[in-house]
Structure 1
Amino acid sequence: MNRLFALSIAGMAAQFAQSALAMPLTVPQIQTASTETTRYDCKDGKTVSVQYTNTRNRQSFAALTVDGRKLLFVNVIAGSGARYVADQYTWWTKGPQANLYDEMAAKDSPPLLADCQARQK
């Protein structure tokens, strides 16, 4: 009987975790000013879709999928263009071009996504 109860609890926990992961991120203290989705075509033939969010307190975020993981990138200071970081990755845009870097890769490694060009709207 205890084993059946434990399996039932484990099943409910898995369902809860799955539904919790699907819930949108809401931070009441940070209010969205604008959201825009841009699609990029990259040199290697891959396409990436990035959702940019600007907030009323002048923060910027970029949401994109890297290696099957949906990540929220935060804008950080850059010498030119806009640089966003999440986990070990950097998404760097300059005008309509962008590159995705793995900061844990060897120093001379090429970008994960290189020479990505924003599609015209």
Structure 2
Amino acid sequence: MASMTDLIFLLLIFFMITSTVVSPNAIKVLLPQGKEQTSAKPLTRVIIDKELNYYAAFGNDREQPVTLDELPGFLQSCAEREPEMYVALYADVSVPYGEIVKVLNIANENHFKMVLATRPPDSTDNE
């Protein structure tokens, strides 16, 4: 009986160690830092509203409607204007995660630096 217990603990330790070594295949995203840091690089904005409409803008330009197919070309033209730009993704809270991943994949395939825009938590939120 003692050998069965030893075997179970040995397997438990083995799986605990290997699970910390193996990193999941995740999408790498450059997250924004604290409010002390200001972005000196031009920012390209991609917005997805709750109706799944896409909008994009470079710098201080006004947002213009784009389709998902037009987005890579728009981002490439922005990168030609400013190679060190960041792409900020603003998505409504009701947007399915799959739509967000589509934009992240476009940015990843074209080697753009991405940030996800968030809002600070409200004091009334209990999440």
* TM-score relative to the length of structure 2: 0.26
Q: Which has the larger radius of gyration?
A: 2
- RCO higher in 1 or 2 (8 Å CA, sep ≥ 6)? 2
The structure in which a higher percent of residues are helix is 2
